Chains A and B, each alone.
Chain A
Amino acid sequence: MILDQLVWPLALVLAALVLGPYLLAVLDGLVARGLGLTRGPGLWLAPLRRGAWWLIQHTNVTEAPDGRAWRLAPALYLALAAGGLALVPWSRAWVATDIATSLVLWGSIEALATVVIFLQGWSANTHLTLVGAYRYVALGLSYILVSMFVLIGVALPAESLALTQVIISQQELWNVLRQPLGLPLFLIVGLAITFRGPFNLADSTDLAGGTSADVSGAQRLVWEFARSAMLVAFSGIATAAFLGGWLGPWLPGPLWVAFKMLAVLALLAWLGPAFARLTPEHCVSLMWVVLLPLAFVDLIWAGVEALS
């Protein structure tokens, strides 16, 4: 009883929290290798080496930062990512937080992530980080609607806001096929919440690193780690919402979940660097004018499909 409800889910969440970002870093390394940015041996060690360098480098302080908020922001981002992972059902029995409204709770994690990313850029009290922070808020306030519509779409056939019910409703057909627009739209949300690739408005190159421009050392390590962890959490939610979670033949559920999460991560790691970064203005227009109507269409599709 205790083992099923507490120990195993906790162990799985913590394992995903530690291993997931590491594997994502390895995947990123593979993609970078494909683009010809790095080469040579040490694919598996490279993330550890980078992490070691960040641990050794001193943490920067600016002239008049909001010191507490600045240190708190990466840790809070990590906590939000962990909270997201806690919602992921690993199997029918092993769910760390199996509540009736886990989809809404994930939505609130997305909303709070915007706050935390803003805080990271704001607290440094430097020019480039500040611009990065405000830019990200434009994106963060826009993608959230797309995310809500898409997730409500998966709640329709499940008749529930709990992720476990969403998975059970996919027994016959996974949502990725049943609602073909859903997963692509949701993947865009994933890139946006971790500001990767075309949606890297927060830590962009034109701001010399944006919200990270004046961050160094261990704080940067936690920030990058949390950013990866958030993508891992996102991939867990995407797996549950669209890829049938633990459903799958032969293997035990948690393994299926892990495989599907890895597949989503690999797809996102590959998609991220493939596109040029959008300008903030473009991003906002894209979200409201293109993706939001598409999310409407997805919802209508899901509605029609659920009734038939």
Chain B
Amino acid sequence: MELLLFFVILILSLGAGLLLQWWPSRHHPMPTYPQRAPFLGGGLPDTHAWSRFHVRYYPMALLLIAFEMEMMFMYPWAVVYVAQGMKAVMEMGMFLAILSVGILYGWREGVFRWQ
């Protein structure tokens, strides 16, 4: 039941978003090529913008993947935390301490700076 309503809300808003874009422009002609050129203050590009884009934060992105895996363990842990008491504290403390080492190491090696 809840999921049905969630789904209905998603579809309604998605449809509204698309309709709102499509309806006003349904009779508009295709813009001319000069209009469609990228805006560069009067200048022109040599090439398409799509390219092998040099992402400058790729080590951070990889670090995140590892860290996020670990976060997924934390949600179930949070639910039983109070019931399990000290045991949960110890276990998660150890777990997080190990992973903090990873972040500290990454920071030390300049992972969060632009490569």
Contacts and interface: CB of A to CB of B under 8 A. Distances in A.
A218 B26 CA distance: 11
Interface of B: 1-3, 5-6, 8-18, 20-25, 28, 30-31, 33, 35-41, 45, 48-50, 53, 55-57, 60-61, 64, 67-68, 71, 74-75, 78-83, 85-86, 89, 96, 100, 103, 106-107, 112-114
Contacts of A157: 82
Given A76-B17, A152-B75, A285 B24 contact: no
Contacts of B36: 60-63
Given A62-B37, A124-B38, 18 more contacts: A56-B24, A61-B35, A63-B37, A74-B21, A86-B6, A96-B5, A99-B2, A130-B50, A138-B56, A148-B74, A149-B71, A152-B75, A156-B78, A159-B81, A161-B78, A214-B38, A280-B57, A306-B81
Interface in A260-296: 280-281, 284-285, 288-289, 292, 296
| A interface majority secondary structure | helix
A307 interface: yes
Contacts of A98: 2
B52 to A, nearest CB: 12
A226 interface: yes
B81 to A, nearest CB: 5
Interface of A: 5-6, 9-10, 13-14, 17, 55-56, 58-64, 71-72, 74-79, 81-83, 85-86, 95-99, 101, 103-104, 122, 124-130, 134, 137-138, 141-142, 144-145, 148-149, 152, 155-157, 159-161, 208, 213-214, 217-219, 221-222, 226, 280-281, 284-285, 288-289, 292, 296, 303, 306-307
B49 A292 contact: no
A10 B7 CA distance: 11
6 contacts: A59-B28, A61-B35, A76-B17, A83-B10, A98-B2, A101-B75
Contacts of A208: 39, 41
B33 to A, nearest CB: 7
Given A79-B13, A130-B53, A303-B89, A86 B74 contact: no
A79 B71 CA distance: 26
Given A60-B35, A281-B114, A303-B81, A126 B3 contact: no
A159 B112 contact: no
B75 A155 contact: yes
Given A134-B53, A159-B83, A288-B107, A126 B39 contact: yes
Of the candidates B13, B60, B81, the one having the most CB atoms from chain A within 10 angstroms of its own CB is B13
B13 A307 contact: no
A144 B17 CA distance: 25
Nearest to B77: A152
A75 B13 CA distance: 7
Nearest to B31: A61
Nearest to B54: A134
Contacts of A99: 2-3
A59 B22 CA distance: 9
- Shortest beta-carbon contacts, A-B, top 9: A75-B17, A126-B38, A82-B13, A79-B14, A78-B17, A155-B78, A97-B6, A59-B25, A79-B13
Given A9-B5, A221-B20, A285-B113, A145 B55 contact: no
